[in-house]
Amino acid sequence: GLNFIDLMVRQGNIDNPPKTPLVPGFECSGIVEALGDSVKGFEIGDRVMAFVNYNAWAEVVCTPVEFVYKIPDDMSFSEAAAFPMNFVTAYMMLFEVANLREGMSVLVHSAGGGVGQAVAQLCSTIPNVTVFGTASSFKHEAIKNSVTHLFDRNADYVQEVKRISTDGVDIVLDCLCGENTGKGLSLLKPLGTYILYGSSNMVTGETKSFFSFAKSWWQVEKVNPIKLYEENKVIAGFSLLNLLFKQNRGGLIKGVMDKLVNLYNSKKIKPVVDSLWALEEVKEAMQRIHDRGNIGKLILDVEKAPTPLMANDSTETSEAGEEEEDHEGDNENKERMPFIQ
């Protein structure tokens, strides 16, 4: 799986970036080739998906058994590679942190991206949940049925939300950071929860710009704890990778994965795959995410041969600015699936 965090790693816009040489990537799917001596519950030949603390973009991956999960029989490998990061992140934020319940409202940025689409699908499993989403306008037709109210990412979404819901929303999920932090807090109802789970506005152009980076952080509204107390608002942060690899919550995540697989088997959720790319095409794939050109998840396929880019297949046509999600398609077809029809 290719995620926005991979772009941040490449640019060094994370805490303690790893030293090179480095194989990137945090999630993958494949077939079990070998087992440790004490491993139980898996056999060689099992179809699995897994979290990896880097090194996922490889032909052979080694990871502790607590981060490995069996793939449902009718889930393809590309769907499985698109599943863990996005759906666990969405589930944990909605149900573990924000306690989503019937009748609540949610605002999610980058509604066309992998996490955004997972959030929309999970919200649909709870009765009467209203989902507000922001996305690039060219994605609206493709994702309009997944959210209740959809706004252009460049519009004044604060006023648009308040026009529909005067009191604001119960949950704000922010992957942008910067000036959106203050806007998100201003939209919260009393007892509402704001969750920061990414900072895609920190990703600049092809090279890291310290001034752009500093400007984005400068735009983050300084939170006054007394104001939170007076307004009955909750502010939270969520990092799945830290939870897994630094805070030893693999057991908790396994329980969440079990619930998500049950939802998949009951056909209530389904990962959205934008496109498949050869490992040699990682530059173009990253550019597509950077340009916010995807709807759903981009997948790197180790068995896929590079495909020459066609004139209408360019990764440089989008002026959008968010992480987007993928279209469903024939994932067994090793040719790159079409982008937005």
Q: Mean pLDDT over all residues of the chain?
A: 85
Gap between the Cα atoms of 118 and 83, Å rounded: 9
- CB contact set of 89 (below 8 Å; sequence gap of 6+): 115, 118, 197, 238, 240
Where does the chain have alpha helices with state H?
4-11, 77-81, 84-91, 114-123, 140-143, 157-164, 180-187, 210-218, 225-231, 240-245, 250-265, 282-290
Residue 223 counted as domain residue: yes
**Predicted confidence (pLDDT) per residue in 119-156, tens digit:** 999 999 999 999 999 998 889 998 999 999 999 988 89
Residue 328 counted as domain residue: no
The answer to whether 188 and 206 are in contact (CB under 8 A) is: no
The one-character DSSP state at 281 is G
- Please determine, for residue 113, whether its predicted confidence score (pLDDT) is greater than 80: yes
> Looking at the whole model, is its pTM more than 0.75?
yes
What pLDDT was estimated at residue 8?
84
Residues pairing with 70 in the sheet: 48
Residue 334 counted as domain residue: no
Residue 40 counted as domain residue: yes
Residue 293 counted as domain residue: yes
Residue 254 counted as domain residue: yes
**Predicted confidence (pLDDT) per residue in 48-106, tens digit:** 999 999 999 999 999 999 999 999 999 999 999 999 999 999 999 999 999 999 999 99
Residues pairing with 196 in the sheet: 174, 237
The answer to whether 340 and 314 are in contact (CB under 8 A) is: no
Residue 325 counted as domain residue: no
What pLDDT was estimated at residue 99?
96
Residue 236 counted as domain residue: yes
- CB contact set of 277 (below 8 Å; sequence gap of 6+): 2, 284, 285, 298, 299, 300, 301, 304, 336
Helix (H) or strand (E) holding 169: strand 169-174
Return the CATH number at 193: 3.40.50.720
Comparing C-alpha atoms, which of 78, 165, 91 is closest to residue 130? Answer: 165
What pLDDT was estimated at residue 214?
54
* Length of the chain, in residues: 341
Residue 20, number of CB atoms within 10 A of its CB: 5
Q: Is the dihedral of CA 302, 307, 312, 315 positive or negative?
A: positive
Domain span at residue 291 reads 4-209+219-300
Residues pairing with 317 in the sheet: none
Count of structural domains within the chain: 1
